Structures are given as structure tokens and as C-alpha cells.
Amino acid sequence: MKAVWPVIFLGLSAVNFAAAENGDSQDGLTWLKKLAGASNQVNYLGTFVYQRRGLSETSRIVHYVNPAGGVFEKLETLDGSAREVIRTNDQVTCYLPTTKTVLIEQRDARLLPAILPENLAGIMESYTVKTGPRDRVAGHECQIVMLEPKDSLRYGRQFCVEVRSGLPLRVRTVGGKNEAVELFTFTQLKIGGSFSRDKVKSKYSAKSRHWRVDRTALNVSEQAADTGWVVNNQPPGFKKLMEVRRSIAGRAGSVAQIVFSDGLAAISVFIESMPKARPAQVLTHQGAVNIYTRSFADHMVTVLGEAPAATVMQIAESLELRTDAAAR
């Protein structure tokens, strides 16, 4: 599963919010609605730092919403291994000059990490929304908005929302002891400006003509299906969003995928035939994303999501194949 950051975006259409419990919550939800729509309405360019568990990466991003329709982005890392990502609507092209490789994916995902999904329906069931004081980030005034989890099954979020545009200038993902699991913050930012195609062109497009092109991600088809798998101990607040079977070119069997969400965090479950090398039961993490792999009979189960390890493991350990599905 390739990704610029281990962040899961739901990409759902906006709906009405649940009623707020008090004035502070209502004010917080108003700011969150403004934040949710900003990335599809605002032009900006800047530099940001992404930190996770002692690691840090600095990147530059250019983001344009074309008045004629479409979203265009260019992102390039400024330290470590060079990487450039170009997004034109739902096509994402990643240039890796170190290995002379071009990865092409078809997906509907924003490149900016930790953007709030547009669908916040039911969020009050699992989180308390609060507002804090005003702050300044990269020279811009912003409003602090906090999503505090009502249990230990999910992470909290702290946003600093630019007061005019609604862009998130700083996003902190916090764990149970209020420690920062991930931190994203702009260090330089210019908001507004006219669309310029030159600024979202790849500087590697000409020299990459003889690089290896990997279109593996495009050779994936999916179909809604009853996979036969169920989670018997589903964490409270998490609801099933989709259930599909994916067919990948070059692979003999299909992969079942089930996605759960509490309106903010999403957890994906992947079930596939057991590979020749039987995998060990292992828990790993990439920033706020925990990844748990286990075997179930002749299947390999991988569960990953931007949620605490206990939540991811609870889903993985309670996953079962229905009796009627097993018979088939």
C-alpha cells in the first residue's frame, strides 16, 4: 500500500452536523466545517514540517483550485531522499529520483496530511468538540479547536485553523497521555493567488522519460461484495463504511477489504490468501497509523488505521469468517 504519509482520508461528501451539546461545541463545529471545505476552495503555497515519533520531514507544497474545475497540487520533500508528488484531480504521480522510478496512482486523496474529512456526521458520539484561545502559526492568526475522545479507543486532535480561510496551520494528533503521536505545522505559508500551471509542473518530467514507470496501482479493480467476514467485537462508535473485493493484476486471488470509521478515524481490514511465507503475528506503526498482521486459518489478515494499537488489535482478533461463507 503506497502512500506519501500513513494517513487515511475518507473523502466523503459533506452532510449536516449533529446538534452541539453546548455553545462551545457549536462554535467548534462551525470552525471544523470551515476547515473541512478549505482544501477544495483555497489556493495556497508554503513549507510545512511533519513529525512522528522522533522523525521529522520538511516539505514544500503548492495547491491550486482551478476556477474551471479541478484541484492541482505539487509537493516536494526538502530533506532526506528526494521525492516529488504531482496531483491532478484524482491522478497522483510520484517521482523518486534516487531509484529513477515513477509511481502512478488513481485515487481521490489530498496530499496535505491530517486534513479533516468533510463528513463529520456522528462525530459528537465519540468526541467532545472544544475551542481554545487564538494563536499564531507561520505569521497567520488561527483558532485552536480540539476533538477530545470520549474513550481510549481513538486519538484526539488539536487543530489551529486560520481564521479567514479555514486552512489547518497546525494539526496535533495526541494519544492517551496527551503525548503528540504526530505533528504537522506550517513554517511558511502564502494564502491566495491565481492559478499557475507552471508552479505545479514536475521538474523531473523531462529527465524521467527513461525511468521505470510503475502503474501497478492502476491495475486494481474493486467491486462491492459480501466478503463473508465479520467483526464480532466491533469498537463502539465505529461503523462499516464499505466492503469490497479487490482484484490486482498478477495476483491469483482477490483481496477482501472492509473499512470502518467513527466519523474521523478510519480503519481498513485486508484479508487475502496465505502467502508461501507464513507471516508472523506482528504489530508495527507509522506515526499515528498502527498496523497489525495475523494469520487466520489459511488467510493473512492485515488491519491498519489511525487509531491506538488496542483498537486495531481488537478488530483483528475478533474478525471471523461466517459459517455459511466458510462452507462456500
Output the pLDDT for position 111: 39
Which helix (H) or strand (E) segment holds residue 50: the answer is strand 44-52
Query: For the chain, what are the domain ranges?
Result: 23-214, 219-323
Band of residue 26 on the pLDDT scale cut at 50, 70, 90: confident
Beta-carbon contacts of 289 under 8 Å, excluding residues fewer than 6 positions away, are 6, 7, 8, 304, 305, 306
Tell me what percent of the residues of the chain surpass a pLDDT of 90: 60
Q: How confident is the model at residue 22 (pLDDT cuts 50, 70, 90)?
A: very low
pLDDT(21) > 60: no
Q: Taking the domain 23-214, which CATH number applies?
A: 2.50.20.10
In this predicted model, what pLDDT tens digit does every residue of 115-162 receive, in sequence order?
A: 555 556 678 889 999 999 999 999 999 999 999 999 999 999 999 999
Q: What is the pTM of this model?
A: 0.84
**Would you state the CATH architecture of domain 219-323?**
2-Layer Sandwich (3.30)
Q: Residue 249 has what pLDDT?
A: 63
Mean pLDDT of the chain: 85
Contact between 173 and 114 under an 8 Å Cβ cutoff? The reply is yes
- Listed ranges 13-17, 66-70, 100-104; the one with the highest mean pLDDT: 100-104
Q: What is the structure's pLDDT at 110?
A: 37
Model confidence band, residue 218 (pLDDT cutoffs 50, 70, 90): confident
82 and 71 in contact (C-beta within 8 Å)? no
Q: How confident is the model at residue 299 (pLDDT cuts 50, 70, 90)?
A: very high
Distance CA(80)–CA(101), nearest Å, equals 17
pLDDT at 277: 82
pLDDT confidence of residue 117: 57
What does the alpha-carbon distance between residue 66 and residue 41 come to, in Å, rounded to a whole number? 9
Counting every residue, how long is the chain?
Answer: 328
Higher pLDDT, 53 or 316: 316
The 3-state DSSP class for residue 58 equals: strand
Between these two residues, 48 and 253, which has the higher pLDDT value? 48
**What is the percent of the chain with per-residue pLDDT over 70, rounded to a whole number?**
84
Q: Exposure pattern of 266-298 as b/e (b: 16+ CB <10 Å)?
A: bbbbbbbeeeeeeeeeeeebbbbbbbbbbeeee
- Average pLDDT estimate for 62-88: 91
Q: What is the pLDDT of residue 4?
A: 35
Q: Is residue 17 very low, low, confident or very high in pLDDT (cuts 50, 70, 90)?
A: very low
